[in-house]
Amino acid sequence: MNVIIVGCGNVGSTLAEKLRNENHDIVMIDKDSHKLDVLTDEQDILGVTGDGLNYQTLLRAGIEHTDLFIAVTESDEQNLLCCVMAKRSDKYCRTVARVRNPIYNTEISYLRRELGLSLIINPELIAAADIARRFQYPDSVSVETFTRGRVELMHLTVTGYSPLKGLVISALQPRFKCNILICAVKRGRRVFIPSADDTIEEGDELIVSATPRDANYFFRKTGLFKHPLKSAMIIGGGTIGFYLARRLTDVGIKTKIIEADEERCALLNDEIPKAIIINGDGTDERLLLREGLGGVGAFAALTGIDEENVLLSLFANRVSHARTITKLRRLNYTEIMNNNISVDHAVFPSLLTADYIVKYARSMLSISGGNVENAFDILDKRAVAIEFFVTGEGPVTGHAISSLKLKKDIIICSITRNERLIIPTGREDIRVGDNVLILSMHSDFKDIKDILA
């Protein structure tokens, strides 16, 4: 594919390398000619010095023959406008914008629909979701994420001691009193979408869809959480800390944020009333101990300084049994963290963002259509999870899901509406602006109406 990337910061340069390694043709646009020269010298890509908002710059970069346009500058507004310019220049071009400000978070569906964007991605939200998963779920559960980290398909294997063994699927919700959906079962070499009458057997690998709250409750009830997370401490009340605290408190985890800026503390206190907000220096070891670091179950170092985060996580490991997460910006720390530093896990938001966009680029090659947003192989490529963005009224909208005549081997796993996740029970309908995630045994889809028989 022909790809244009506007902005050669951490995300842009990482994207260029990853996409070039997958044999895409890359053109990078940036105002800084020195940065471009360094990047083009290191990688086999083309560079165009200029502003991504300038039409002549886009023409020099080859916008008329571009398959994928990605805007990842430091300005949310510029990223959105760049994508609008690209779309006006080539209506068949897919456009991706990085948007970080939380004030836009509830407007994602509206912005995409009105501006004609293919994907809006929030690195901080994706990073927070990644950290929350590592805190919440046991190591025996692997997770696939969709819809910018809001939707999760969880993989778990049924053991001989599991309370799931021998249960009929229709009995799951009454038994555990939470809304979960078994989307697929891998039994030996066979992969299938189960019916309500199927029985779960020992050794089955299940794909489960649930809201974070229901997933947490379900895993507790099934005994997968032998030591469920009860408390967490976050150092740094920035955007990632905000998203993380909101997610943890939503599932009943006692969460404390330590933030140095007094005004930011007041905002956090208003926006996350369930969290405990402490105005103080997160690098003060005595403060951390007074606030209970020794007894917390999870610890996230999310300040804006990488070295502080590493040292804080090392201190937390020394004085507690908490699972620690360290946020890092500098990508040259990846090798050091993997081999030499004993922290539980390091999160690189720019890498997570780049990886998500690369997955999107791959999905463009496998499935493309009017409202197919993403398509990811799962279960050893025996099934495919497909995301649709519903852009207009059609045969699937306005009807209860239970009344839709779906093709064989298709299940609707989730609906995301105005940033709210819905696990369908059959009574819900699909509406314009929804993100719909399906799982299927086949992949011949160009539009969401293709799920109908």
- pLDDT band, very low/low/confident/very high, at 260 (cuts 50, 70, 90): very high
Q: What letter does residue 417 receive in the DSSP assignment?
A: E
Which has more pLDDT, 411 or 112? 411
Evaluate if residue 115 carries a pLDDT over 70: yes
Residue type at position 72: V
Phi then psi dihedrals of residue 281, to 5 deg: -85, 110
For 121-139, what is the mean pLDDT? 87
Residues 6+ apart with CB under 8 A from 75: none
Domain harbouring 79, CATH code = 3.40.50.720
| Cβ 66 vs Cβ 2: under 8 Å | yes
Q: What is the pLDDT of residues 25-75, one digit of tens each?
A: 999 999 999 999 999 888 889 999 999 999 999 999 999 999 999 999 999
**222, 256, 286 — which closes off a domain?**
222
Helix, strand, coil percentages, rounded to 5, for the chain: 40, 25, 35
Q: Both 150 and 180 in a single domain?
A: yes
To the question of pTM greater than 0.85 for the whole model, the response is no
Q: What is the pLDDT of residues 380-407, one digit of tens each?
A: 778 888 888 888 899 999 999 999 999 9
The predicted structure's pLDDT at residue 67: 92
State the alpha helices, DSSP H only, in 367-407: none
Residue 358 domain flag: no
The predicted structure's pLDDT at residue 140: 64
Residue 293 domain flag: yes
- State the Cα–Cα distance between residues 227 and 314, nearest whole angstrom: 22
Q: Both 146 and 205 in a single domain?
A: yes
Evaluate if residue 153 carries a pLDDT over 60: yes
Domain count, the chain: 4
Evaluate if residue 85 carries a pLDDT over 90: yes
Q: Which of 363, 386, 387, 413 is nearest to 184 (CA)?
A: 413
Tokens representing 174 are 């009454």
Evaluate if residue 15 carries a pLDDT over 70: yes
The predicted structure's pLDDT at residue 234: 98
End-to-end CA distance of the chain: 32
Average pLDDT, the chain: 88
Q: Both 381 and 442 in a single domain?
A: yes
Per the structure, the complete domain to which residue 78 belongs is given by: 2-98
Residue 370 domain flag: yes
Q: How far is CA 4 from CA 58, 115, 289, 323, 362, in A?
A: 9, 18, 49, 39, 15
Domain harbouring 426, CATH code = 3.30.70.1450
Q: How many helices (H) and strands (E) does the chain have?
A: 14, 22
The predicted structure's pLDDT at residue 17: 92
| Cβ 172 vs Cβ 142: under 8 Å | no
The predicted structure's pLDDT at residue 148: 64
Residue 361 domain flag: no
Residues 6+ apart with CB under 8 A from 353: 11, 72, 98, 121, 123, 126
Residue 360 domain flag: no
The predicted structure's pLDDT at residue 139: 66
